[in-house]
Amino acid sequence: MHSITRWLGGAALAFTVLMPTAHAAEPKPIYFGDLTWESGSLITEVLRVLVEKGYGFKTDTQPGSTVSLEVALARNDIQVIGEEWAGRSPAWVKAEAEGKVFGLGDIVKNADEGWWVPDYVIHGDAAKGIKAVAPDLRSVSDLPRYAEVFRDAEQPEKGRFLNSPAGWTSEVVNTQKLKAYGLTDSYVNFRTGSGAALDAEITSSIRRGKPVLFYYWSPTPLMGRYKLVRLEEPAFDAEAWKTLTDSKNPNPRGSRSLAARLSIGVSAPFREQHPELVAMFEKVDFPIALLNSTLASMSEQRQSPRAAAEAFLKANPQVWQAWVSDQARSKVEAAL
Amino acid sequence: MSSGFPESLHHSIAEPVNRLVDGLVVNYGDQLRPVADTLLLGVTWLESGLRALPWWLLLIMVFALAWHAGRSWKRALALVALMFLIGVVGLWDKLLQTCALVLVATGLCVLLGVPIGVLLAFRPTARRVIMPVLDVMQTLPSFVYLIPVLMLFGLGKIPAIFATLIYALPPLIRLTDLGLRQVDTSVREAARCLGATRWQVLRNVELPLALPSIMAGLNQTVMMALSMVVVASMIGARGLGEEVLVGIQTLDVGRGVEAGLAIVALAVIIDRITQDYGRRESTKPG
């Protein structure tokens, strides 16, 4: 017992002695949230390169889950979240209402979510010898006819729709959509449990050339890597959308999903201290097709986000030059 | 970034492994899916069988089993009450789904674990090879092998059973091995002297003497299978784990606690019954 307490005490002492010296006399860097999904990590690194090289600030990242990063942003423990799906999480909405965090810009226009099938399901792929198994599949209303194509292994008399993991906001929407489109009798609402499992199942099906029907969103590497077709849905209708997001509504009505607004989240102190960076963040605009293909090659070549960000900036100067000040532009160009 | 380790010595096996997995999926995925689907039929059959039973009949069956194991009215009643409570919080259906998964996984564990344990006890070479493998099985983070397995066998119950098997098998093997090696050599020799064959000694002398240890192993296996339930739900297996997952992901702590406690209750029920069987065997006279 004694030796354990002494050991712990020693460790604690060593910790307190060593910690301050490690960080002494450095100007505090700007902390970015270390986003773990592909588009988030790429956008974060692009912004970091621009801030570091163009404006001369030191930056660093802090890991954390989405919610914990949003809470950290509200407390100014981190200063920037590179890709914020503003308005989707209660933590964000509360902090924004209190004026602690701000969402800047509209960084990826046409960010999208919906139901997708691989292109070969509809058109076939002669090169790979895949026949078109659902040639007339255009819209969600065609799905009942093709339940057999997307056969569920556990309940073979039904088709399988790969929903997002239970607990995501989109899972509720998709479940309501299944009801709204009258698919509950012909399709199994298969919740995939985790994003990794959803990705693995889609990738495995596509690699083997099998039909698969799934929920997905963009910007993502998957969208850039494979040829996918989005099934048509009724046009967006705000009233119908409300019935889709409410899991308790018994009679939901069909509608496309609400267009997502992706912005850059910054803390209130950051917004006051760095007006020049705020001005830049507000102009950020990634064309979605280019972003998807960049993400696809990043994921295929297994590049680090940093390397992918630098390659992106080098290859696409026309995209980012409009965002930054003239001075910063020449500095970034010189650094690249 | 790299803390001083010479760059020239860096060598990553990530790429070859990625190519291997991709190759397996493209070349063997289509053949393996039907195998998985056959196994899946067995699980769904068991699951729908459990669900077809009226709830009170199932409770009576658990009661009978618990009484048979422990010969104690009080304990059997307490266990049935626990199971009743799971139904009360509205998790009956999920409970049965989890039960089916755990039962199939445990059954496979016994089919594989006991023979491997016997092999380990009598073959030193096998011991030297298998022991490190068991260490790997118990420590390798499950998502590392789950995702490739998922790509090969499809989402849902099959990769879940596979993962449970990998994680929950080692204790049964280890304790079967331990139990057999602790059998008194004089007893073994006495049996041999009476003219029993190798097989008869194993079946009638060694395995019965090792049974308490084997039952302890089985008990551990079931407990570990239950603790994999949440991980299993992350790859699309339905059941109590899914409820826990949803509870966590939506910050619905109450829902998570409810399902979590239901898993604990199920664990207690299975634990008491298997332990009682183990204890009875060990105290049986003769």
Q: Quote the distance between the C-alpha of residue B225 and its chain's center.
A: 4
Facing residue for B25 by CB, picked from A162, A194, A208: A208
Q: Is the pLDDT of residue B285 over 60?
A: no
**DSSP of A6-30, one letter per residue?**
HHHHHHHHHHHHHHHHHHTTPPPPE
Q: Report yes or no for ipTM above 0.95.
A: no
pLDDT at A281: 93
Higher pLDDT, A246 or B109: B109
CB of B237 less than 8 A from some CB of A:
yes
Closest CA–CA distance from residue B219 to any residue of chain A (Å): 28
CB of B46 less than 8 A from some CB of A:
no
User: For residue A102, is it within any domain?
Assistant: yes
User: For residue A16, is it within any domain?
Assistant: no
Q: Is the pLDDT of residue A10 over 70?
A: no
pLDDT at B117: 94
Q: Is the pLDDT of residue A187 over 90?
A: yes
Q: Are residues A125 and A224 in the same domain?
A: yes
Burial class from Cβ neighbours inside 10 Å (0-12, 13-18, 19+) for residue B46 reads: middle
Chain B residue numbers with beta carbons less than 8 Å from the beta carbon of A167 are 245-246, 248-250
CATH at A281: 3.40.190.10
Percent of chain A with pLDDT over 90: 50
Using one digit for the tens of pLDDT, what is the confidence trace for A258-313? 877 889 999 999 999 999 999 999 999 999 889 988 998 888 888 899 999 999 99
Q: Are residues A104 and A212 in the same domain?
A: no
Using one digit for the tens of pLDDT, what is the confidence trace for B226-281? 988 888 888 888 889 988 888 877 777 899 899 999 999 999 998 888 888 877 76
pLDDT at B110: 93
CATH at A233: 3.40.190.100
Q: Which residues of A77-96 are buried (b: 16+ CB within 10 A; e: fewer)?
A: ebbbbbbbbbeebebbeebb
The tally of domains found in chain A comes to 2
pLDDT at A110: 79
Whether residues A192 and B15 touch (CB distance < 8 A) is answered with: no
Q: Between β-strands A187-191 and A80-85, what pairing exists: parallel, antiparallel or unpaired?
A: unpaired
Contacts of B145 (CB under 8 A, 6+ apart): B163, B166
Q: Are residues A303 and A204 in the same domain?
A: no
Over residues B162-178, mean pLDDT: 93
Q: Are residues A163 and A127 in the same domain?
A: yes
pLDDT at A323: 92
Q: Are residues A53 and A175 in the same domain?
A: no
Rounded CA-CA distance A219/A303 in Å is 17
Whether residues A197 and B236 touch (CB distance < 8 A) is answered with: yes
pLDDT at A8: 61
User: For residue A254, is it within any domain?
Assistant: no
Q: Chain A to chain B, count of Cβ pairs less than 8 Å apart?
A: 80
Contact between A222 and A107 (Cβ < 8 Å) = no
Using one digit for the tens of pLDDT, what is the confidence trace for B132-162? 999 999 899 888 888 888 888 888 888 899 8
With an 8 Å Cβ cutoff, the interface of chain A facing chain B consists of 67, 153-155, 162, 165-168, 190-194, 196-197, 200-201, 203-204, 207-208, 302
Using one digit for the tens of pLDDT, what is the confidence trace for B88-104? 999 999 999 999 999 99
Confidence category of residue B15, pLDDT binned at 50, 70, 90: confident
Closest CA–CA distance from residue A162 to any residue of chain B (Å): 10
Q: Are residues A241 and A117 in the same domain?
A: yes
Q: Are residues A279 and A324 in the same domain?
A: yes
Confidence category of residue A9, pLDDT binned at 50, 70, 90: low
Class of domain B17-283: mainly alpha
Mutate to test the interface with B, among A45, A128, A194 (most CBs of B within 10 A): A194
Whether residues B150 and A153 touch (CB distance < 8 A) is answered with: no
Whether residues B156 and A153 touch (CB distance < 8 A) is answered with: yes
A66 is in which domain, residue-wise?
26-110+260-335
Closest CA–CA distance from residue B198 to any residue of chain A (Å): 44
Whether residues A207 and B156 touch (CB distance < 8 A) is answered with: no
pLDDT at A37: 83
Q: Is the pLDDT of residue B1 over 50?
A: no
Using one digit for the tens of pLDDT, what is the confidence trace for A106-125? 898 878 889 999 999 999 98
pLDDT at A26: 61
User: For residue A84, is it within any domain?
Assistant: yes
Rounded CA-CA distance B214/A223 in Å is 51
CB of B152 less than 8 A from some CB of A:
yes
Chain A residue numbers with beta carbons less than 8 Å from the beta carbon of B242 are 166, 191, 193
Closest CA–CA distance from residue A71 to any residue of chain B (Å): 14
User: Which of A245, A274, A295 is a domain's end point?
Assistant: A245
Over residues B77-81, mean pLDDT: 93
Contact between A167 and A187 (Cβ < 8 Å) = no
User: For residue A291, is it within any domain?
Assistant: yes
Name the residue ranges covered by the structural domains of chain B: 17-283
User: For residue A52, is it within any domain?
Assistant: yes
Rounded CA-CA distance B69/B65 in Å is 6
User: Which of A214, A245, A276 is a domain's end point?
Assistant: A245
Q: Are residues A117 and A106 in the same domain?
A: no
Using one digit for the tens of pLDDT, what is the confidence trace for A51-100? 999 999 999 999 887 778 888 999 999 999 999 887 667 778 889 999 99
pLDDT at A5: 59
Percent of chain B with pLDDT over 70: 97
Whether residues A197 and B150 touch (CB distance < 8 A) is answered with: yes
Q: Are residues A188 and A272 in the same domain?
A: no
User: For residue A166, is it within any domain?
Assistant: yes
Q: Are residues A72 and A56 in the same domain?
A: yes
Closest CA–CA distance from residue B147 to any residue of chain A (Å): 6
Higher pLDDT, A12 or A195: A195
Whether residues A204 and B233 touch (CB distance < 8 A) is answered with: no
Closest CA–CA distance from residue B244 to any residue of chain A (Å): 10
List of E strands, A79-200: 80-85, 101-104, 112-118, 159-163, 187-191
Mutate to test the interface with B, among A151, A154, A161, A198 (most CBs of B within 10 A): A154
User: For residue A1, is it within any domain?
Assistant: no
Mean pLDDT taken over chain B? 88
Closest CA–CA distance from residue B149 to any residue of chain A (Å): 10
User: Which of A222, A245, A268 is a domain's end point?
Assistant: A245
CA torsion, points B179, B182, B187, B193, in degrees to nearest 10?
90
Closest CA to A212 of A255, A152, A172: A152
Q: Are residues A119 and A226 in the same domain?
A: yes
Mutate to test the interface with A, among B41, B143, B155 (most CBs of A within 10 A): B155
